[in-house]
Amino acid sequence: MDEDMSNCYPELREALLVKFDISPETYRQRFRATSSPPGETPTESYHRLKGLYRRWTRPEEKSKEQMGETIILEQLLQVLPPDTRTWEHFYDGEKNTGYLSWGLRTMSRKNRATCSQQAVPATVPQAQGPNRPRSAPTVPHQLDGDACREALSFLVHSPDEANVKGLLTQDFLLLFGTETACKMFEKWDTAFKIKIVKEAKHLTQSTELCRLLNAAETLAENDDTSWDSDMACLLLLLYLLPPTAGRKRTKISPSDAVDKMVHFHKSCCSIDEHLGEERVNNRTSYINIAAGRTRNRIDTFYIVIDKQLIPCQATSSLGFYDELFKSHYVFNLSYSLVQLYTFVQTTVYNIDINTTDESPRIRELRAKLLN
């Protein structure tokens, strides 16, 4: 460190801790050691272990529940598969956040999907979309041990992965490769946008549909209550592919589906207050947020996963939707708007196009847009 900084105790202390790799994990390993220094008496051992325990768990800084969570997660790491234990390096035990907490949720979903597939007869169709088991084509074989740790060390991780922009796109890229990951941006303007507007004009006109059509054709640039052209065009797909009822889904109108996909939030208002209202209303799922001064001037997009906000790396509507779609595969989430996301999966990204069960309406729209 700089000589000038060496006179500042907090910076000097932090530099020494990093230099000698001293952290709560260091004290945990010493506390769990099975041997004692030669000649140490039982009383000395007791006080040594007590000191290590306090440095590891830091009871003066944590509640009883947080200390219990620290010990439970330590035991959890011991029983997880070896490749999962490498996430420990990126986990912040003080905040109970990081790659482990997100990874465990994703792994849990994937395990449930795998177990359910093993339990059904072979004649039952395979799970589709984000729930379908798949391996990453960009990785020739599964790394483990030191090789896995070395590979992870090159990734950009932080104690709170939910706030790290770009990791969602990075994980999707590793899963499907560059060609698939870029298809939305490559095809949108040339193959889809104009044709989607053309098809939407044949629908029964309503006030909301007309507003979206005007916004999509940039006829409402001075209307601050309308979305920008790309967002309006994406929302038109909900009118062309309205949500249908299913085993666990109730049928909703296209306008309700629009409200379910994205919520406009004025940037001058507190997002925390908005989420507080959602909790008061006991919402089971929170809506993705577009925050800005007006609907056609969005500053930040947020995707909601497990009732937590993940800031998007993208600042455009098309980039937001690209990350929103990819989040289903990265976090192994089922589609909430099945018709829309299935269409984008097979028609835009060409994922599992020959094995996905599509509705006649999706196949008809794809034929119209691509011919």
Rounded distance between C-alpha atoms, residue 218 and residue 208, angstroms: 15
- Selection from 81, 54, 84, 82 nearest residue 70 by Cα: 54
> What's the whole-number mean pLDDT along residues 106-123?
52
> What's the whole-number mean pLDDT along residues 156-185?
73
Which residues share a beta bridge with 305?
308
Asked whether residue 169 carries a pLDDT value surpassing 90, the answer given is: no
Rounded distance between C-alpha atoms, residue 197 and residue 174, angstroms: 33
- 43 pLDDT band (50/70/90 cuts)? confident
pLDDT of residue 231: 94
Summarised one tens digit per residue, pLDDT across range 323-347 is 999 988 888 888 888 899 999 999 9
Sign of CA dihedral 49, 101, 75, 156: negative
Asked whether residue 268 carries a pLDDT value surpassing 60, the answer given is: yes
% helix / strand / coil in the chain, to the nearest 5? Answer: 55, 5, 35
- 111 pLDDT band (50/70/90 cuts)? low
Which residues share a beta bridge with 92?
97
Asked whether residue 95 carries a pLDDT value surpassing 70, the answer given is: no
Asked whether residue 30 carries a pLDDT value surpassing 70, the answer given is: yes
- 167 pLDDT band (50/70/90 cuts)? confident
pLDDT of residue 323: 93
> What's the whole-number mean pLDDT along residues 95-116?
50
Q: Any idea which of 2-11, 71-80, 181-190, 323-332 has the lowest mean pLDDT?
A: 2-11
Which amino acid belongs to residue 135?
S
Summarised one tens digit per residue, pLDDT across range 4-29 is 554 555 565 555 545 544 667 777 88
Asked whether residue 94 carries a pLDDT value surpassing 70, the answer given is: no
Q: Which residues of 152-161 are buried (b: 16+ CB within 10 A; e: fewer)?
A: eeeeebeeeb
Asked whether residue 112 carries a pLDDT value surpassing 70, the answer given is: no
Q: Which residues of 94-106 are buried (b: 16+ CB within 10 A; e: fewer)?
A: eeebbbbbbbbee
Instruction: Give how far Cα 211 sits from Cα of 228, 255, 271, Å.
Output: 11, 12, 26
pLDDT of residue 236: 95
What's the whole-number average pLDDT of the chain? Answer: 75
pLDDT of residue 45: 87
User: Which structure tokens are listed for 241?
Assistant: 């592919």
The residue length of the chain stands at 371
